[in-house]
Amino acid sequence: MYESNNMFKSVRLRWSCGADKEEREMTTDQLAGATATGDRPDTDPTANRIARLACAWSGIACTVLFAIGFVAFARFLPFPSPGLPAEQVAANLAEHRIGIRIGVIFMIIGFGLFATFATGVALELRRTDGRHPALTYVQLVCAGASAAILALSPMFFAIMVYRAGDIPAYITQALYDIAWFCFVMPYPVFSLLLLAQGGAILRDRAVPVVFPRWAGYLCFSTAAALFPTGLIIFFKDGPLAWNGIIGLGIPMIFFFSWIMTLSYYLIRHVTRDTRVAAQPASPPARRRNSENP
């Protein structure tokens, strides 16, 4: 009888250890799944709230700063014609020298914030990528590349007004063309960013979602609207030139509408997410011990 009781205790101990191991494995798998889907068990419910909100608001700040610099100070609206003679280009730049310099400062700061905006979008959409976040990495790489390319445009505007009047007019015109080409033409990297964002938005099955499904289609539409900007090298006038409605007007409308739309939903999501996370969680149910009734 004594040996039988010892054998029974040994079997029960091994079964208990196995059950604990299985429970630990299930807990680990559930934790990994929760992390992949965005339900992260943060110890601080408001962790990184300020950083997330800063990324969300940076899209709106980018748009506002660009509008102030591009329209109010540099006076690039309506868009100047690429067919202007070199002497007239140099004269126009000399006339608005101070305004362009101030506008360049606003534009380059605004374009710097584009990187933080795109990073914020990628961060919140990370949960849709699971264990192999390919779309997230595409967004992050394209965000940095896009911000760097955008920063080149105001830098060339600054260079041409810096030397305007000291160099031949045709050199000023060449710098002028480079600045506009950097601003309008580099659609491939932006299109990749938009396609990755659109795909991640459509894959989001969480409740509630970060962005509505139509925002994903807006990303695809914006990528399509940017495609004609690659044709500006063939035209100096008309709708496909870099001052035309197809070459610049429609792409710019889609581009900044996309930024403002995603920024709005990003701000709403972060605010809601941190508010829900800050609520006290209900205490977990205590496990009953089957051995002690």
pTM recorded for the entire structure: 0.77
User: Which of 197, 190, 188, 187 minimizes the C-alpha distance to 134?
Assistant: 197
Domain range for 110 is 48-272
Instruction: Calculate the CA dihedral of residues 106, 112, 114, 120 and round it to 10 degrees.
Output: -130
pLDDT of residue 283: 54
The sign of the torsion formed by the CA atoms of 277, 278, 279, 281 equals positive
pLDDT of residue 95: 87
Say whether 186 sits in a helix, a strand or coil. coil
**Arithmetic mean of pLDDT over the chain:** 82
Tokens found for residue 221: 């539409």
Q: Is 263 contained in some domain?
A: yes
Work out how many domains the chain is built from and give that number. 1
Q: Is 184 contained in some domain?
A: yes
Q: Is 25 contained in some domain?
A: no
pLDDT of residue 281: 56
Q: Is 147 contained in some domain?
A: yes
Q: Is 283 contained in some domain?
A: no
Q: Is 10 contained in some domain?
A: no
Angstrom distance (rounded) from CA 102 to CA 256: 21
159 compared with 32, residue with greater pLDDT: 159
219 band by pLDDT with thresholds 50, 70 and 90: very high
Helices (H), strands (E): how many in the chain? 9, 0
In Å, how far from its chain's centre is CA 57?
11
Q: Is the pLDDT of residue 12 over 60?
A: no
276-288 confidence digits (pLDDT tens): 766 665 555 555 4
